[in-house]
């Protein structure tokens, strides 16, 4: 019997895709062979992938050869034009966090899913007297992380045996991978010291429907479903916002003792939204194919999930990717060059597979260049 991996209910609806199933991309931006089965839990209203043996094998295969931010040789993505300026994603996240939480001069932080240590580096720059630790499933980045300033420990595996308690545990782009996110958060809360906080960042499905095609993301959060998980874990959300980072949810959580009866959102509204997202992805796929068929120099804006997915859906009818991030320019994605906007051939067509809000900002920043930008006008969050 298929059950919701968030609340355990068997009252789930399958969400059908019309037409050809969408191609899948791993969270480290690699093409993935396979398809996904999408579900909506009618009890907790969480959109999710069915966590089958096939899905787990696919996710395990992705993690066995994970190559974080390979498009920029390990440098994390840049975020532009936020209230906290532009810069590496982890730095913008932490600036927002420090606005809310008055951290002491010294303390201990654990970064869950630390990969090659980008968030640890950003946190050390902001709080150089803190002692830092990282956790990952595998040992791939152990030496890299342990060499970072301020880092005292690297943990890995299913039973890491953490030493002591932590004042902050960061969970950035981790929760969407976890089969039981409420239990995961509840366990983390037991690692907190007095006045400890959990900092969460996760993709927001309402702002970024492309999250559905990320193969190893089994839960697709919006504010309501993340709030449900927080309540179920017995935590208090001091902040839960979709406005601090583009396309992401940010939460700051504190223990409050016992799990509460979590209130679910309207399941029928959640189902209608998700079916809209499927229709929207089909519109983006169709518009991309029509643009590529014009037989002009053709590029895709971005070099992350949406861009990789679009390229896969266009079956190779792409000449280049375009990115504003200087760490990515000059590298490649799926064998194609990543250009800066200034390097795009005059008169080339560049398709933007992101939302209207993102597309308009990109086009405004580069309005003086002779680039024919295209995007889908209906690609707006609901």
Residues 168 and 125 in one domain: yes
Residue 158 has a pLDDT of 86
Written as tens digits, the pLDDT of the chain (382 aa) is: 689 999 999 999 999 887 789 999 999 999 999 999 999 999 999 999 999 999 999 999 999 889 999 999 999 999 888 888 889 999 999 999 999 999 999 999 999 999 999 999 999 999 999 999 999 998 999 999 999 999 999 999 888 999 999 999 999 999 999 999 999 999 999 999 999 999 999 999 999 999 999 999 999 999 999 999 999 999 999 999 999 998 999 999 999 866 566 666 688 888 999 999 999 999 999 999 999 999 899 999 999 999 999 999 998 799 999 999 999 999 999 999 999 999 999 999 999 999 998 999 999 999 999 999 999 999 987 7
Examine the domain organization and report whether 129 and 252 are in the same domain.
yes
Q: Is 92 contained in some domain? A: yes
Bridge partners, 320 (sequence order): 299
Residues 121 and 231 in one domain: yes
* 322 in the same domain as 242: no
Number of domains within the chain: 2
Q: Which domain holds residue 211?
A: 71-261
Do 102 and 241 lie in one domain? The reply is yes
Which CATH number covers residue 167?
Answer: 3.40.50.150
254 and 330 in a single domain? The answer is no
Q: What is the pTM of this model?
A: 0.94
Residue with tokens 């993690």: 63
In a domain, 44, yes or no: no
Using one digit for the tens of pLDDT, what is the confidence trace for 133-163?
A: 999 998 999 999 999 999 999 999 888 999 9
Q: Is residue 49 part of a domain?
A: no
The answer to the question of residue 268 being in a domain is no
Whether residue 156 contacts residue 176, with contact meaning beta carbons closer than 8 Å, is answered with no
**C-alpha span between 41 and 39 (Å, rounded):** 6
> What pLDDT is attached to residue 258?
62
Neighbours of 122 (CB within 10 A): 21
Asked if 315 and 256 sit in the same domain, the reply is no
Is there a single domain that holds both residue 227 and residue 356?
no
Inside any domain, residue 333: yes
The model's pLDDT over 103-119, given as tens digits with 9 standing for 90+, comes to: 999 999 999 999 999 99
**CATH number of domain containing 346:** 3.40.50.20
Q: Are residues 245 and 357 in the same domain?
A: no
Say if residue 190 is in the same domain as residue 82. yes
Q: Which residues contact 87 (CB under 8 A, 6 or more apart)?
A: 78, 79
Residue 223 lies in a domain: yes
Rg (C-alpha) for the chain, rounded Å, is 21
Q: What is residue 16's predicted lDDT score, i.e. its pLDDT?
A: 86
What pLDDT, on the 0 to 100 scale, is given for residue 20?
A: 85
Shared-domain flag, residues 297 and 257: no
**Based on the domain organization, do 304 and 366 belong to the same domain?**
yes
């Amino acid at each position: 019997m298929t059950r919701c991996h968030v609340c355990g209910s068997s009252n789930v609806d399958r969400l059908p895709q019309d037409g050809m199933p969408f191609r899948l991309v791993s969270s480290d931006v690699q093409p993935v062979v396979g398809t996904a089965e999408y579900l909506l839990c009618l009890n907790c209203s969480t959109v999710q992938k069915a966590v089958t043996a096939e899905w787990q094998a696919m996710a395990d295969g992705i993690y066995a050869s994970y190559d974080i931010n390979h498009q920029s040789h390990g440098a994390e993505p840049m975020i532009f034009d936020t209230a906290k300026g532009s810069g590496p994603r982890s730095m913008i996240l932490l600036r927002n966090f420090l606005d809310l939480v008055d951290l002491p001069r010294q303390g201990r932080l654990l970064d869950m899913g630390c990969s090659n240590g980008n968030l640890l580096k950003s946190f050390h720059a902001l709080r150089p007297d803190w002692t830092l630790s990282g956790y990952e499933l595998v040992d791939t980045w152990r030496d890299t992380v342990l060499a970072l300033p301020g880092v005292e420990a690297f943990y890995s595996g299913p039973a890491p045996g953490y030493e002591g308690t932590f004042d902050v545990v960061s969970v950035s782009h981790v929760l969407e991978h976890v089969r039981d996110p409420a239990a995961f958060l509840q366990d983390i809360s037991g690692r907190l010291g007095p006045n400890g906080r959990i900092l969460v960042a996760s993709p927001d499905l309402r702002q970024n429907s492309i999250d559905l095609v990320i193969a190893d993301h089994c839960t697709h959060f919006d504010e309501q479903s993340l709030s449900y998980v927080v309540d179920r874990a017995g935590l208090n959300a001091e902040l839960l916002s979709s406005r601090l980072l583009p396309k992401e949810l940010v939460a700051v959580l504190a223990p409050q003792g016992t799990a509460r009866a979590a209130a679910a959102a309207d399941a029928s509204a959640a189902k209608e939204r998700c079916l809209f997202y499927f229709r929207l992805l089909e519109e983006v796929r169709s518009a991309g194919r029509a643009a590529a068929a014009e037989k002009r120099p053709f590029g895709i804006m971005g070099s992350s999930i949406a861009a990789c997915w679009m390229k896969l859906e266009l079956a190779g009818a792409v000449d280049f990717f375009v990115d504003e991030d200087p760490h990515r320019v000059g590298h490649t994605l799926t064998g194609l060059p990543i250009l800066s906007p200034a390097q795009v051939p005059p008169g080339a067509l560049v398709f933007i597979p992101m939302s209207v809000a993102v597309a308009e900002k990109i086009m405004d920043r580069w309005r003086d260049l002779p680039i024919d930008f295209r995007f889908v006008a209906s690609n707006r969050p609901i």
